[in-house]
Amino acid sequence: MKRELIHLENIAKSFGNLLVLDEIDLSIYESEFITLLGPSGCGKTTMLRIIGGFEMPDTGRVLFDGKDITRLPPNRRPINTVFQKYSLFSHMNVEENISFGPKIAGKSADYIRDKVKYALKLVNLEGYEKHDVTRLSGGQQQRIAIARAVVNEPKVLLLDEPLSALDLKLRRNMRRELVGINKETGITFIFVTHDQEEALSMSDRVVVMNQGYIQQVGTPENVYNEPENAFVADFIGDSNIIDGVMVRDKIVRIFGREYPCVDTGFPAECPVDVQIRPEDIKLAAPREGAFNGVVTRVVFWGMSYDINVEADGFEWLIQSTTGRTVGEEVSLHVAPENIQIMSKPQSEDEEVAADV
């Protein structure tokens, strides 16, 4: 098991009357790639800035290797940051940008030369030492920003939406490169994004946030396949979320009819949220499946179709490799293992925490 490197203990932060983080507790482990994921205003960047020392929490502590660093300034933490705007020094070339930190630290010329060479190889920009950073592409500038951070040998690298300014193809390439750098260096990466695809494709663990609360922490597979509440289910990918009643173990009532599922442990006749992923719904001929309806909309995405079906007064979303025709009568089949049962909020605080 990996060693705990950072622990956020009961962290709260407000700006004026606006509560941004509410009693956050989170463990971050050595060498892992962890992503803080959530919509704008959920508190993820504030949490990153508190870890980096750029913001002070109102209450709580930041522990690093068991030591309290809550009041320690950024330059005294073994942490480097790559911001959304890369903040390269425009009057310096690539080599001078990367070597800036080691020079300030008083490292020798040989040490700096070796480190610059290693960092450029790490980000696939060997031979760019003398290039003007202002003439580099956005993707190349981002790689230089990462190299400049890595060369300082931090224990932790904070990345605040560093891919958002790049085009889609370049973002996907950079995701693979960031994961490779994380594995190569063993540096703990803490990545902030609102992009679910980025979080799922890159992370060892994902921290899903909303309105200052942590909604769920888990592996990408866990938060996608086993969301703990309706917010997580709806925010991570596409979902059909329906009001239901857990009749008993492995039986749920939807739209007044009972269907088999695989979930257990809920009280009898307990109101629940029922999640069914669009890709888990199979379209069949009328009256052959569990739900009967009519196709209302079809969108072609290149490799698949988004198909909306009106059934039982609910607008279902189905994702299929086979198209349908608007107005066509169909039925929907869902396997029991693809019906995910989630508890409804039991208090006003939980309702606020899970509110989209």
The answer for residues whose C-beta is within 8 angstroms of residue 126's C-beta and 6 or more apart is 117, 120
Q: What is the pTM of this model?
A: 0.87
Q: How far is CA 287 from the centre of its chain?
A: 39
Question: pLDDT digits over 160-200, tens only?
Answer: 988 887 788 888 888 998 999 999 999 999 999 999 999 99
Per-10-residue mean pLDDT of the chain, 356 residues long, equals: 93 96 97 97 96 97 97 94 82 94 92 94 92 91 90 94 81 90 95 94 97 97 94 94 97 95 96 96 94 97 96 96 96 96 69 47
**Cα(265)–Cα(20) distance, rounded to whole angstroms?**
34
Domains and CATH numbers, the chain: 4-225 (3.40.50.300), 230-353 (2.40.50.140)
**Cα(181)–Cα(276) distance, rounded to whole angstroms?**
36
CB 149 within 8 A of CB 73: no
